[in-house]
A = this chain, B = another copy of it.
């Protein structure tokens, strides 16, 4: 192990004999790096969330902006085409660098994806935010490879920590973020090389976002309060266990559907439209038309348009904990999000996956079969379950469910996430995930 240019071999013999000595240096090193990477990523996340909050609010007050979606699309497309060809692969590029290291992630990935995501939400596209935060974290982290002259092995830990920091801070779930970083680049395995750096950095980033966010007047959605409002968690009986497995199957298949739809639209645009900036522009035309068509009852009175399938969709997620959703809500969101992202708008997939899952879970509660499981619990299971299926990260999703909804529902959440993982097939929203262990 190298410590800031000093290698282990240079230590005196008696020191090398004590295994804890290099571990202590390792910890010192990653505490230092974790403070830097976590601090910067946390700061970035707070600013990003603030920008997102502003964009979503502004659009709410100025709904006419949706007619500018093609222009927004073109701007985003042109930005990446002329300035960001080498960072356009986004999350997949980070995963590639973990498993097949090639070259340092350019720092510009961070501002480009942040601005493009805020623009996507500003104009009314349907997207998420974890991709943005993860890319910001990864790109910031990788800059320290040069600064600290880190070797290949350390660089891997560094990128994982950056991903963990981004995910942790954008959702306010430090443990899920840390596990996501460890789990996301390989299907069916978790390796612990980066376990300390990843957890430490994720916790620092979350701390910084929390406090800077507080100053900026933004807060993570308090799902716990929404979820637990009067909720009585039922006992995990054998019957409920089988019902959770059944729900998990639905979540897994939906996660797979989302992945496939994502790839379908991505491929559709790429193979039919050569000039990259034209893709989100034409996509923007279609999205704007779709919004108008979905609001036919309002005619051209755009200020009253219902945007439930566009933007982040946090209000609908919150609703799904108490109100039974329609069977088509999760399908519509799948369509709008995969189309938005496939066309080349920017943002993450995870908040839409929360939306899709919680509305599906909420819909399941309309079946008599699910009478014994409260609607909030089903929505919560779906919230993380579909995400687990689409990303193949069952542990991160389980822990996220516990962080957001409390340990009382942990067993329900775990069964949903794990069954969904089993049933989503060997697909993923991340093409660059490598297969560690087949699922069956």
Contacts and interface: CB of A to CB of B under 8 A. Distances in A.
A20 interface: yes
Contacts of A258: none
Interface in A179-219: 188-193, 195-196, 199-200, 203-204, 207
Interface string A298-328: 0000000000000000000000000000000
A400 to B, nearest CB: 11
Given A189-B190, A425-B20, A196 B418 contact: yes
A241 interface: yes
Contact of A410 (B1, B175, B192, B241): B175
Interface stretch (A22-30, A81-89, A120-128, A278-286): A22-30
B191 A437 contact: yes
Contacts of A425: 19-20, 23
A403 to B, nearest CB: 6
A383 to B, nearest CB: 15
A429 interface: no
B26 A440 contact: yes
A195 B421 contact: yes
Nearest to A440: B26
Contacts of A406: 406-407
A35 B437 contact: no
Nearest to A414: B175
A195 B439 CA distance: 9
A198 B64 CA distance: 53
The residue in A1, A402, A406 that gathers the most chain B C-beta atoms within 10 A of its C-beta is A402
Interface of A: 1, 19-20, 22-24, 26-27, 31, 35, 174-175, 178, 188-193, 195-196, 199-200, 203-204, 207, 236-238, 241-242, 245, 249, 253, 394-395, 398-399, 402-403, 406-407, 410-411, 414-415, 418-419, 421-423, 425-426, 436-440
29 contacts: A1-B440, A22-B440, A23-B425, A23-B439, A23-B440, A24-B249, A26-B422, A26-B440, A27-B245, A27-B249, A27-B422, A31-B242, A174-B236, A188-B193, A189-B189, A189-B192, A190-B190, A192-B437, A195-B421, A196-B418, A196-B422, A200-B415, A203-B236, A203-B411, A203-B415, A204-B241, A207-B238, A402-B407, A403-B407
